[in-house]
Amino acid sequence: MSNDVDKMISEYINDTRLSFEAHPVKIADRKRKRNIINALGTDITRYIVELVTNSDDSYRRMKKSAPKEKIIRIELNKDDNNEGGYIISVTDNAEGMTKETLEKKFTSYAGDNAGGPQSNPRGIFGQGGSDVLRMAANDNRLAQIETIKDGVLCVCNYCFNEENPDGFLMTASFKLSDSELMEFRKDRGIPGNGTRVSFGVSQLIKFEEKEIESLPEKICVSPYLRYLLNQDDLTVTYKKEGREEIILSSEEYQFKEENKNTEDKFSFDYEGERLNCELRTYINDDKKKDGTHIIVRDEEYRVYDNTMFNHKLDPGARNISGELIIKGFYDFCYKRLNDPVEPEAVINDNRTGFDKDNPFYDALNSNIDPFLIKVIADNRNDAKSISLSDNRQFSNMLKNVNKYCKEEINEEIPLTPGSGLPGDPTPDEAIRFARGTISITKGKQYDLKLIINSNIVASSERIEISCDSGDKIEFSPEVIQYDEDEIGENGTVTKSVVIKGLELTGNDSATIKARVSTWTCTASVYVIEGDIHYPKDGFEFYPSTVNCAGTDKHWIKLYVDCEVVPIGSIIIVDSDEGIEHVKRIQFSENKLIEDSPIGVISVRVSGGEIGKKYTVTASTQDKTTSALITITEPSKREPQNNGLISDVKITGEFGEDDQAFFEPSTRVIYINKEHRINRYLMSRIKNSEHYTDLPNGERKYLLDLIAEQVATVLVKEINMKKHNDISFDEDSEESYDKIRRLIQLQKNKLYEVMAPEMLDK
C-alpha cells in the first residue's frame, strides 16, 4: 500500500471521527477439543509421567528443606460417578501450594511455572499438569487438585462451560480444625505440606482390563521415569482399589556396566553454542520387552527422548540400547523457549521427544549418526547374510537400477550462503533463484530453489518459468503459485524448480527465467559431463558409507563448496585407529569440477582389518563431516557404493515380522528369509546361496520385493524429503493413496530396468 493511500485513509478517519468495531475471534469447539486431546494423546502413561515429574520437581525446588522421607503415591480407584470409569491420583508430601500460587500456576497455561533452571526442575513447558486436568474435564470427569500449605487446605477443580470454552478454575481454601485437618491428612496421605492431583480417565484413553493390569509395569518401564524411579531418597508407590501398596522401581531396567558396548564423546556447535555430548551404548537382549532405545538426557537425569535416530528398524539395532547425555541441555532448551523475539521448542511439549522439524534435530542427528552407524553395523551379523551382488548378473542389474535412480532423484542445490536463506529477512527483489549460476550433470535432475517475497508477490499471482534452450535442459513446473500457509515468519516462500540436463552446454549456458508481473530473475545453467554433488552445509563426504575391498589404498570423495569453504583452506583428516590416511589437505582451485564452485577432493585411506568398520572425519574452520568405511575381502565383488542401493542381502537376522527392510545408513536392502510369506512363496530361499539358485517363479517374487523397496526409497527421496509434496496434516487417507500411486508408478518403471536381465526368457 502506497504512502498516499495510507494518508488518505488516515485523513478520512480523522475527519469523520470513524471508529473501528471490535469482533472477538472464536476458536471452533472441534479445534479446541482436538488441541486438548492431542496435547498428551491417548497413552495413560504420559498423563502419569506428567504428574509424577511435577511432584519430583516440587521436591527438587525444596532442596535441603525437603522431608527425609520423600514419597509419591499413585492410586487407581473406581469412578463412582462414571460407570466403568477410573480415577487416578498422584500424591506427594512436598511443598504444597497456597491458593494464590495454585491459581497463578494453573491460570497461566504453558507459562514458566516450573521455576526455571535455578529450581532444577524436570518440566520446561509449564503445561503438563494442566493438560492432564483439561483432558479429564473435557470429558466431564474429575479434574481436581487438593493441596496443603502451612496447615491451610486449598481445593481446585478444572472446568469447562459455554461461557469459558478455554477452561476455568473453581478454587476455595479451608481453615479446618485440628481434628478435621488430621482426618483429611490421614485419608489423603499428606502428613505435612503436599499435593494430591486426581483425574478421571477419559473414555478417549484406551484403558481396558489389559491396560489396567499392566499399568505398574508400564510406569516402571517408561523412559521418562527411568532415573526418577531409581533414586535412593525417593519412594514411588502404586495402589489399586484398596489393595496392598507396592513400590515401583526401574532398577531392573538400568544399564549395566557389564553390558556396555561403546562409549564415545563428541561436541558440536549450534548457533554459537557448544554442546558436549556423551554416547553410551549397551547390549540389551530384553529390548523388545522394555522398549529402550537411546535415552536422551542431561547431566541432571532429565529425559528428553527415547529414540534410535532413524535406525529403529535396522536389524543391527535389535538389541542395542543406550543413553545420550547432552550437558547443559535444559538451559539450552529453556533459553530458546523463552527467547523474547523468536521462541522455539527444540523438544515437543507432549512427551514425544525432539521436534524433528526443528533444525537442531538435523544438527544433532548428523553428529551422532557416524557413531550409531558404526555401533549398529558392528552388531549386525552379516556373516549370516548372503550378498546377492556376488552374482555378476545381479550386480549388473543393480548398476542399472542405480543409474535409473540417479536420473530420477533430484540433487538439491542449496542457497548461496548469505543470500536470503529461509528465516533471514526477505529479499528486496520480488523473486530470486537460490544461485545465479549452476552446473549440473548430464542425465541428472536438480532441485533449484526459487525464493519468493510474499510481501510483494501475492499468492494469487502466477510465476511463469521459461528457458531459452529447450534442447539442453528440461524443467518443471512451468507455473508456480504458493499457498498462504507456506509463508515463513519473515514473509519468504521457497519453491522448487526441477531441472534435468539433456545435452552438454559447452561454454554457452542455458538460461532459465522466472517472471511475475514486472519482475524477472534468471539463472545460468551449465550441463557438464562430470558428476557434481552439492554438499550439505558446503562440506560433505559423499557417499558417507563406503566399502573398500582389501587393505590397499582407497579413495573416498569429499565435496567442498568454495562459497562456504574458501579456496586455500586447510582440511584436517582424522580416523579411528588402524586406518592410515593423508592428514592435511589444502583446498586448491584445481579441485573444482569444470570451473563450478564445487570441488571434489579424493581422500586416500588404507589399512584396517577385513570385516571391520572405521570412521574417517574431515574438518576445516567450523565444518566437520564423517564417512563410514567397511573393509571387505578383495575377492568379494564390491557393492555399488555410489548408488541409492549399495547391495541386496538375504538374511534371517531380524525375526519374522519384517518381510524386507532398507537400511539407510548402509543403503542395503535386506530380504528376510524367515518371514512366513517369503518362505511360502520362495520355498528355496532358506537354503539358497545365490540368486541363480531360485527358479524363475521365485525370482519374480524376489524382484517384486526388491522393486517395492527401491520404489519406496525413491519416492521418499524425490517427493517427501525434497519437496514435501505430501502432507498428512490435511487428509491422511488421500496422502496415503497418493504415496501408493507414486510407489506403484516407480515400481512399474523399475521392473522394466530389472526384469530383462534377471528373468529367464
For 265-291, the pLDDT digits (tens) are: 999 888 888 999 999 999 999 998 899
> C-alpha grid cell for residue 189?
496421605
What is the H or E stretch that residue 236 is in?
Answer: strand 234-240
Domain boundaries, the chain: 29-253, 257-379, 410-524, 533-643, 649-761
> C-alpha grid cell for residue 336?
530458546
In this structure, are residues 114 and 126 in contact, taking their beta carbons and an 8 Å threshold? yes
Looking at residues 710-724, what average pLDDT do you find? Answer: 72
664 or 97, which is more confident: 97
Q: Is the entire prediction scored with pTM above 0.75?
A: no
Looking at residues 650-655, what average pLDDT do you find? Answer: 70
- Chain centre distance of CA 250: 27
- CATH superfamily entry for domain 29-253: Histidine kinase-like ATPase, C-terminal domain (3.30.565.10)
Q: How far apart are CA 129 and CA 109, in angstroms?
A: 10
- Buried b or exposed e, range 459-496, using 16+ CB within 10 angstroms: eeeebebebebeebbebeeeebbbeeeebeeeebbbbb
- First-to-final CA distance of the chain: 71
Own/partner pairs for 505-512, CB < 8 Å, 24+ apart?
505/469, 505/472, 509/437, 510/467, 510/468, 510/469, 510/472, 510/473, 511/467, 511/468, 511/469, 512/433, 512/448, 512/465, 512/466, 512/467, 512/473, 512/475
Q: How far apart are CA 738 and CA 327, in angstroms?
A: 43
Q: Read off the pLDDT of residues 551-565 as tens digits, 9 standing for 90 and up.
A: 778 889 999 999 899
Q: How far apart are CA 231 and CA 647, in angstroms?
A: 47
Looking at residues 211-219, what average pLDDT do you find? Answer: 94
Query: Residue 284: what are its φ and ψ, rounded to 5°?
Result: -130, 95
486 or 202, which is more confident: 202
Least confident of 102-106, 218-222, 508-512, 682-686: 682-686
CATH code 2.60.40.10 for 533-643: yes
Q: How far apart are CA 672 and CA 660, in angstroms?
A: 6
Helices (H) and strands (E) in the chain, counts: 15, 36
In this structure, are residues 76 and 241 in contact, taking their beta carbons and an 8 Å threshold? yes
Directed axis angle between helix 44-62 and helix 29-40, to 10°? 70
What lies within 8 Å, CB to CB, of 291 at 6+ separation is 221, 223, 306
Percentages of the chain per state (helix, strand, coil), in multiples of 5? 30, 30, 40
State the pLDDT at residue 720: 54
Q: How far apart are CA 449 and CA 465, in angstroms?
A: 12
Phi-psi map region of 536: left, alpha, beta (phi>0 left; psi -120 to 50 alpha): beta
Provide DSSP, 606-620: EE--TT-EEEEEEEE
Looking at residues 522-544, what average pLDDT do you find? Answer: 90
CA distances for 327 relative to 278, 353, 416, 684, angstroms: 8, 17, 33, 52
What is the three-class DSSP state of 348?
A: coil
Q: How far apart are CA 158 and CA 174, in angstroms?
A: 18
Looking at residues 410-438, what average pLDDT do you find? Answer: 72
Provide DSSP, 424-459: BPPPSSSEEES-SEEEEEBT-EEEEEEEEETTTS-T
Burial degree of 435 (CB within 10 A; 0-12, 13-18, 19+) = buried
Looking at residues 729-757, what average pLDDT do you find? Answer: 80
State the pLDDT at residue 388: 80
The architecture in CATH of the region 410-524 reads Sandwich (2.60)
In this structure, are residues 50 and 129 in contact, taking their beta carbons and an 8 Å threshold? yes
Is the pLDDT assigned to residue 116 strictly greater than 60?
Answer: no
What lies within 8 Å, CB to CB, of 209 at 6+ separation is none
State the pLDDT at residue 659: 85
State the pLDDT at residue 110: 61
148 or 690, which is more confident: 148
55 or 24, which is more confident: 55
Directed axis angle between helix 29-40 and helix 128-138, to 10°? 130
Query: Residue 668: what are its φ and ψ, rounded to 5°?
Result: -105, 135
Q: How far apart are CA 680 and CA 496, in angstroms?
A: 45
Q: Read off the pLDDT of residues 494-532 as tens digits, 9 standing for 90 and up.
A: 898 999 999 999 888 899 999 998 899 999 999 998 889
- Taking the CB of residue 636, how many other CB atoms lie within 10 A of it? 14
What's the topology of domain 257-379? Ribosomal Protein S5; domain 2 (3.30.230)
Q: How many CA atoms lie within 13 A of 139 on its CB side?
A: 23
Burial degree of 567 (CB within 10 A; 0-12, 13-18, 19+) = middle
Question: Do the domains at 410-524 and 533-643 have one common CATH topology?
Answer: yes
**Rounded percentage of the chain residues whose pLDDT exceeds 90:** 40
Q: Read off the pLDDT of residues 393-423 as tens digits, 9 standing for 90 and up.
A: 888 888 889 888 888 888 888 877 655 444 4
